[in-house]
Structure 1
Amino acid sequence: MARETIEKGVLPYLLKSIFKKQNFITNWLFGIESEAEKQLLKNILKDTDPNFFAWAINEIVNWKNETIPENLIHIHGNKDRIIPIKNVKADFVIDGGSHFMTVNRSEKMGKIIRQIWQHNS
C-alpha cells in the first residue's frame, strides 16, 4: 500500500514539481554544462506539459521490454543520471555524455552516427 501511494500519488507530484521549471536539480539530472544549456532546458521545461513528464518517467521506470530489435544501435552517455549507463546495454558510450548529450556532445554523436552510416552503406 505504501509503495503504491508513493508511485501513484507522491512520486508523480514530486516529479511534476521538480520538472515544472529549470532549477539546480534539473540542471544536475540533465547534465547541464553552460548558461546557454540552462536557458535551453528552461525553455524545454516551460513548453512541456508536467503531466507528460510524470507519464514519461513512470513509463521509463516501469518499462518491461524484452524484445530488442536486431538492427538497434544504442548510443548512451556514461554520465546520464536519468537513465544510468548501468541500466542499459549500449553499443557506443559517449564519455561525459549526459541526458543532454544531443546538445553538448553532438559532435561525438554525429561522428558515431556517420561511422555507422558508412559501415552500413
Structure 2
Amino acid sequence: MSKIPVYLMPGLAASTSIFERIKLPEADFEIYLLEWEIPLDNETLLDYAKRIAAKIKHPNPVLIGVSFGGILVQEMARFIQVKKVIIISSVKSNLEFPRRFKLAKTTKAYKLIPMSLLMNLENLAKFSFGETINKRLELYEKFLSVRDIRYLQWSVEQVILWDRTVVDKNVIHIHGDADDVFPIKYIKDCIVVKGGTHIMILNKYKWLNENLPEIILGTK
C-alpha cells in the first residue's frame, strides 16, 4: 500500500519547526512541510491559496493547517482534490471568530496596528500564539521566523477579512478547550483536546501523535 501524503501548514508567522515533534507511523504516512511565502502585491487569500496549492505534488493529499494555516488549507482545498482537511487551533468560518476579531473588521482597527510592533518578538509571539506564552523567547525566535512587515500586514488583514461563512462539513477540526486566540465557546463541531491552548501543536504533540493516524484514516 502506498503511503498517505500529509502536508503540514504552520500558523501565522510560524516556521515549519513547530511540527518537529509531530511523528506519524512511517509505514503509512509521508510528511511534507509547507512554508509561508511573501505575498505578491495585492494578492488575495484565494490567489495565495492557489499558489501554495500548486506546490503539492501528490494526488489526494491530507492537508493539516494550524491557526491561520488552518484557514489557508481550507482555501487550498478549493483548487485540488484532497483526501482530508484537518485544522488545529483554527476556525471553520468567520462565524467562529471571537468578538474582538469581528470588532476589528467593523471598525477597521486592524489597519491601525503598527506592524513594527509585531516585529518585536514578544508581541509577535503573543499575537500568533496567544497570551499564554511564557518568557522563553529564544524558543519563540526559533518558531516565529517569518518576520517580514509586508507578510505580517497581509496576514493580519486576510484573517480579519476572511469571508467564509459556510462551513465545509468535511473539515475535521481539532481544538483545545483553553485556546485564548479562538476561544472554544465560539467553536462548534470539533474534537476537543482537554487543556489544549493555541500552541498545542507544541505542547500537546503526544495527543496529536496518538490520535492523528486514526483521525486521518477515519477509524476514530
For Structure 1 versus Structure 2, the TM-score category normalised by the shorter chain is 0.5 to 0.7
Is 2:181 the partner of 1:82? yes
- The alpha carbon displacement at 1:41 in A equals 1.6
Partner residue of 1:29 out of 100, 114, 130: 130
Q: Where do 5+ consecutive residues of structure 1 fail to align?
A: none
The 1:95–1:45 alpha-carbon spacing in structure 2 relative to 1, beyond 3 Å, is same
Instruction: Return the alpha-carbon distance in structure 2 between the equivalents of residues 104 and 34 of structure 1.
Output: 15
- The alpha carbon displacement at 1:69 in A equals 2.2
Residue 121 of structure 2: SS of its match in structure 1? coil
Q: Deviations over 1:48-72 (max 9, x none)?
A: 3233223222222222312322321
Instruction: Return the alpha-carbon distance in structure 2 between the equivalents of residues 120 and 49 of structure 1.
Output: 41
Equivalent residue, structure 1, for 2:110: 7
Partner residue of 1:97 out of 196, 199, 202: 196
Instruction: Return the alpha-carbon distance in structure 1 between the equivalents of residues 188 and 197 of structure 2.
Output: 16
Identity of aligned residues (%): 23
For normalisation by structure 1, the TM-score amounts to 0.68
Instruction: Return the alpha-carbon distance in structure 2 between the equivalents of residues 76 and 94 of structure 1.
Output: 6
Which structure is higher in helix share?
1
For normalisation by structure 2, the TM-score amounts to 0.42
Partner residue of 1:54 out of 149, 153, 162: 153
Is 2:172 the partner of 1:73? yes
Whichever residue aligns with residue 110 of structure 2, its letter is: E
Instruction: Return the alpha-carbon distance in structure 1 between the equivalents of residues 158 and 204 of structure 2.
Output: 26
- The alpha carbon displacement at 1:22 in A equals 2.4
RMSD over equivalenced CA pairs, Å = 2.9
Which structure is higher in strand share?
2
- The alpha carbon displacement at 1:92 in A equals 0.8
Q: Deviations over 1:20-64 (max 9, x none)?
A: 1322783572633573xx323223434332332232222222223
Q: Where do 5+ consecutive residues of structure 2 fail to align?
A: 1-106
Contact 1:29/1:82 (CA < 8 Å) preserved in 2?
A: yes
